[in-house]
Amino acid sequence: MAPMTPGAMVLWLHQKFGRGLRTAYYRDVVRPRILRTPAVTDTTDPTAEVHVMTRAEDWLNMVWALKSFYFASKRRYKLCVHDDGSLRPEQRDLTRQHFPAARLIDREEADQLVLAHLKPFARCWEFRRTNVLAPKVFDFAFFLEGDRMVLFDSDLLFFREPTALLRRIEDPGYQRNTFNADCGHGYTVRPEDVGDRIGHELLPRINSGLGLIHRPSIRPDWCEEFLSLPGILDGYFWRIEQTLIALCSSRFGAELLPDEYTLHLGRGIGTRPFRHYVGVIRHLMYLEGMARLKHDGLLRRVS
């Protein structure tokens, strides 16, 4: 049998073993190739600062997420990577190699600084101490060096310029927070139950995977107030962080990005500029998203 090209091999594996093996091929064979691509240098544009928290298990996906964003957007916004405490030394070293201008926030140092900052706010202090995603609320804002933050998760992939998001980031007159919409209700409180208690309408379906946040919108005193709402600490741990960001943003002023940014759980990229590959569709990040970006040349052309 004559040797097969990589593409022919993938097709043969798909025909013989189905999508599971093809997913494994992109996850285990193609995914590490992002580490062969050049570093993303000069992430020094102060227009906005990208903040992302990652863990050892998701770190390689984060590299894909960031490189696809910088490639598709053609921007060089400042970058701040938060270690959740699980990154291995080699992952930290590779982060510095691939994003040499980025700040890498050490978890132990962040714990000391942020918990001291939150000491006057008992509920915030306890939530930051016990919830693994609480740094997205408190640490991102604490370490933000500019006025505008790009809220960013490790499981995003970008396929073309996210024009609507970039316009809002770069418009100095745009003074709202903005987010991709969730596919359904993702809060620990119901919007219709809290309006009277918080003094404003809670914007439904905010997803905290991707968005623009203004520095004054995430305030410990507001979070302290919201953490007293009945039931807010119930339910999935990731929903609490998202609920707090939604509550603060709704009080500050917020809107959703256009429909093409909305989280969906089916297959297919279509003309969307990006997809948020949450846990239930994480396999599509490899089978669909990375396959598409490989075809589009990301592994060849990142600079």
Residue 88 belongs to a domain: yes
pLDDT confidence tier of residue 200, bands split at 50, 70 and 90:
confident
Residue 123 belongs to a domain: yes
Residue 5 belongs to a domain: no
Cβ proximity of 100 and 39 under 8 Å: yes
Q: Please count the CA atoms within 13 angstroms of the CA of 122 that sit on its side-chain side.
A: 1
pLDDT at 14 > cutoff 60: no
Residue 22 belongs to a domain: no
Residue 299 belongs to a domain: no
* Domains contained in the chain, number: 1
Phi and psi torsions of 197, nearest 5° = -75, -35
CA distance 42 to 76: 6
No. of H helices and E strands in the chain? 14, 9
Using alpha carbons only, what angle is made at residue 56 by residues 32 and 303, rounded to the nearest 5 degrees? 45
Region 15-40: mean pLDDT is 87
Region 110-127: mean pLDDT is 98
In one-letter notation, the amino acid at residue 245 is I
* pLDDT value for 1: 46
Residue 10 belongs to a domain: no
In one-letter notation, the amino acid at residue 254 is A
Per-residue pLDDT tens over the stretch 203-241: 999 999 999 999 999 999 999 999 999 999 997 788 999
Residue 301 belongs to a domain: no
Per-residue pLDDT tens over the stretch 138-159: 999 999 999 999 999 999 999 9
Residue 71 vs residues 41, 86, 132: alpha-carbon distances, Å = 12, 27, 30
Bridge-partner residues for 150, per DSSP? 50, 212
Residue 282 belongs to a domain: no
* pLDDT value for 236: 79
pLDDT confidence tier of residue 303, bands split at 50, 70 and 90:
very low
* pLDDT value for 170: 98
More reliable by pLDDT, 103 or 8: 103
Share of the chain above pLDDT 70, in %: 93
Label residue 105 exposed, middle or buried (CB < 10 Å: 0-12, 13-18, 19+). buried
CA distance 296 to 199: 48
Q: What average pLDDT is seen over the chain?
A: 93
CA distance 254 to 170: 16
For 139, the domain range is: 46-277
* pLDDT value for 224: 97
Bridge-partner residues for 213, per DSSP? 149
Burial letters for 50-86: b for 16+ Cβ neighbours within 10 Å, e otherwise? bbbbbeeebbbbbbbbbbbbbbbbebebbbbbbbbee
Q: What is the CATH number of the domain that holds 75?
A: 3.90.550.10
Cβ proximity of 13 and 29 under 8 Å: no
pLDDT at 5 > cutoff 90: no
